Copies of this chain bind each other. A is one copy, B any other.
């Protein structure tokens, strides 16, 4: 009985890690679609979203079954609660990847828009944050999770810089309003992926250190 429960926790972790790597891949493809303006790649992201949504529901059901049938306590319970929250965060990462893929398609249509350097930097940071957050979960590495928390400010600053850049470019007519809105949408989605990676890191810290670090510094939703 005890052994079986451990195997079930192991399998939950494996499934969440799998979902994490699909969410990461989906984001990677969306970003590649964006930077290369590749329509077929963008469409692959929409297919992956269905897969991610299905996995989220499966993992959620598995978690509720574990809570109901095994009635876990202490560390196991914290692990399961963290898993549940990370599952939700990864599903939202998938949604943001879809939004970026949609923007990639729109930018193909608005062919004159070049991707500014801020977005390139945000792409790198968002991917690193998500990767490190997932690694911190898999390796149960709370030091790495703390690294993710420290990175979030950078992406927030770049997001603000992007808005300023777009305002100037539209005012000087170097960019259309439609192009500008699309760049801001991309920037915001990248910033939200940074926030979600931060959420995941916070959940890892909760799991490993049994303390809540949320709302420690200000972190807004949506913007």
Contact = CB atoms under 8 A, between A and B. Distances in A.
Interface residues of A, number: 44
Interface in A125-183: 163, 166-167, 170-171, 177-178, 180-181
B220 A98 contact: yes
Contact of A67 (B54, B67, B170): B67
A201 B189 CA distance: 25
Interface in A46-98: 53-54, 56-57, 60-61, 64, 67-68, 71, 73-74, 77-78, 81, 84-85, 88, 92, 95-96, 98
A193 to B, nearest CB: 9
A77 B96 contact: no
A57 B215 contact: yes
A117 interface: no
A77 B99 contact: no
A221 interface: yes
Contacts of A60: 212
A223 interface: yes
20 contacts: A53-B214, A56-B215, A57-B212, A64-B77, A64-B81, A67-B67, A67-B77, A68-B74, A68-B77, A88-B88, A92-B221, A92-B222, A95-B220, A95-B222, A166-B181, A170-B170, A181-B181, A185-B223, A192-B221, A222-B222
Interface of A: 53-54, 56-57, 60-61, 64, 67-68, 71, 73-74, 77-78, 81, 84-85, 88, 92, 95-96, 98-99, 163, 166-167, 170-171, 177-178, 180-181, 184-185, 188-189, 192, 212, 214-215, 220-223
